[in-house]
Amino acid sequence: MSKPIKGLIAEALKEQYAQVDSVCVVDLTGMSVNSTEQLRSALREKSARLQVVRNSLARRAFVDGPLARLAQDLEGPCAFVTSTESIIDVAKLLVESCKEHASLSLKQAVLDGDPQLLTVAEMSKLRSRSEMLGEVALVISSPARSLAGCVGSPQSKIAGCLKAITEKAA
């Protein structure tokens, strides 16, 4: 590949990954075409995309971006998995897919442009945004439930006493 073509590809990748701040890196070496297509299909359901990029071009594209730290540690064949939704859900899917496809190997991951790299397995153990929102909603609604229980409790006791009195009278 000539230098001008590499430059054009690097610029296209730079534009493509400019807004991306979370990514998982995997190695597809040894996977059959059918297995790779199954993986891509499962990723599409999670609004994720798998793209194989040469490391040298990725290093050029990631310079001065949120994925710059990742570019320094790229070794061997790499494919990048990005998502428009939760990358943590995608990491969980990749860990599950690794059980089905033994030749799929998981590498590093970047979460929200954090300079500290994680492994994909570590990222899959984190809570996703939807899980965190569920916990926040539970914490917020817990005092309201307690208050409703306190308000309703005396009324139910009074109703129980009135019912017992009417049953004795009858």
What is the rounded distance in angstroms from the CA atom of residue 145 to the CA atom of residue 105? Answer: 46
Same domain, 91 and 116: yes
What is the rounded distance in angstroms from the CA atom of residue 23 to the CA atom of residue 31? Answer: 20
Lowest-pLDDT range of 28-32, 130-134, 142-146, 159-163:
142-146
Kind and range of the H or E run holding 50: strand 48-52
Of 126, 142, 159, the residue that ends a domain is 126
Number of structural domains the chain divides into: 2
Same domain, 122 and 134: no
Extended beta strands in 60-141, E state: 79-83, 105-110, 118-119
DSSP 54: -
Same domain, 28 and 53: yes
- Domain holding 53, by residue range, is 3-126
Specify the pTM.
0.72
Q: Which residue has the tokens 């990742």?
A: 70
pLDDT tens for 85-120 read 888 888 999 999 988 888 888 888 888 877 788 888
What is the rounded distance in angstroms from the CA atom of residue 168 to the CA atom of residue 162? Answer: 10
Same domain, 74 and 99: yes
Instruction: Give the CATH number for residue 41.
Output: 3.30.70.1730
Query: Which of 86, 103, 73 minimizes the C-alpha distance to 23?
Result: 86
pLDDT tens for 37-66 read 999 999 999 899 999 988 888 888 888 888
